Chain A
Amino acid sequence: MTETKVGPNQGRARRTWIVLISTVALLVALAVWNSARMSLSMSTAASDDQQFAQTAPGTNTKIAVEIAEPAPEGTAKGKLLQKKTEEIYARTSSSVTLRWNAQTKIVMGKEADIHPGAVVHVTGTVRSDHTIQAEQLVILTGYVKVQ
């Protein structure tokens, strides 16, 4: 049986290559994970008029809204959207009022992107007046089509 001798320099080189390749693999895994995380944060639970109307105050909810009219001081009114496919949403007759503040995380855009016609995925809590206190707003404008 033949035995391959590995010198100290070759051994060190091999270890360095393993570290370098592992670092690149880790970075690639992080990139894929981050992309998947962002992609998942953009997908919404299907909501229709009835489901939304029956949501009790204090409940955490995830909905998609098409902004109709922005109001000052971190509020906006819009129409509830119902998810048809990953990229197609349908308007419903339910009106939704969103509230957000400095603690609200705005993803894939900035506050200025919450304007009439904008499509926003909202993660938040239903208040007693049936408005939504947003914890996270994901700007979906351009990524989805509204019918």
Chain B
Amino acid sequence: MNSFFYASATGWIASILIGVVALLPYLLRRTRLSESLGLAPDRERSYLQRMWPHYWAGYLLAALAFAHAWIPMSAGHMPRTSLTGLWLATLALGLVFLQLLFGLFLQKAQETRRILRVAHFWTMLLISVLVLLHLGLNSSLFSGGGFLSHFWYFLQSFFL
């Protein structure tokens, strides 16, 4: 059951990291949130220099998400679970790597910076939604088979 443990642990830690990675930019620059928490940014360093925890948490997230997908696939067998949830997770994994590229370009970009920031923000939201759906459809924590499975089947039977 080791593969289950590693797949489960990496998946949950990656889910927590999504929240951390998304929250860090709001804590590392002067925002209402950072001011209310007393996290006044250090003015000696530029915003991009202060963002190093966001970068490294992002890289770690990508590595954990990849490991989470790789472990059950390399084990050669998959539990009976929602295929829709797995496709949504695959899309989320692809978007995590795209998000890394956006982040890397954002560190250098000058002219396209605004567009890239908008894309970076909306990709983060999309990843979060996809991961929540994946958790609902595939996680054993939510009522065994996944409480969203029932909702998904209801939607399919209603619209198709």
Contact check, B145 vs A113: say whether CB atoms are below 8 A apart: yes
Is A24 in contact with B78, judged by CB distance below 8 angstroms?
A: no
Known interface pairs A86-B2, A107-B140, A107-B144. Does A9 touch B79 (Cβ–Cβ under 8 Å)? no
Knowing A109-B145, A142-B80 are in contact, say whether A17-B9 is a contact too (CB < 8 A): no
Give the dominant DSSP class at A's interface.
helix
Beta-carbon contact of A86 and B38 below 8 Å: no
Determine whether A38 belongs to the interface, using a CB cutoff of 8 Å to chain B: yes
Interface size class of A (residues with CB under 8 A): 20 to 34
- The docked-state distance in angstroms from the alpha carbon of A43 to that of B8 is 15
**How many contacting A-B pairs (Cβ < 8 A)?**
86
B1 proximal to A (CB < 8 A): yes
Interface string of A11-33 (1 = CB under 8 A from B): 01101110010001001100110
Q: Give the B interface residue count (CB, 8 A).
A: 28
Q: Please measure, in the bound complex, the distance between the C-alpha atom of A24 and the C-alpha atom of B14, giving whole angstroms.
A: 12
Which residues from chain A contact B141 at a C-beta distance below 8 Å?
A: 34, 38
Q: Contacts A13-B39, A110-B143 known; list 19 others, CB within 8 Å.
A: A12-B38, A13-B38, A24-B16, A28-B13, A31-B12, A31-B15, A32-B9, A34-B8, A35-B12, A38-B8, A38-B141, A40-B1, A87-B1, A107-B144, A109-B145, A110-B144, A141-B80, A142-B79, A143-B77
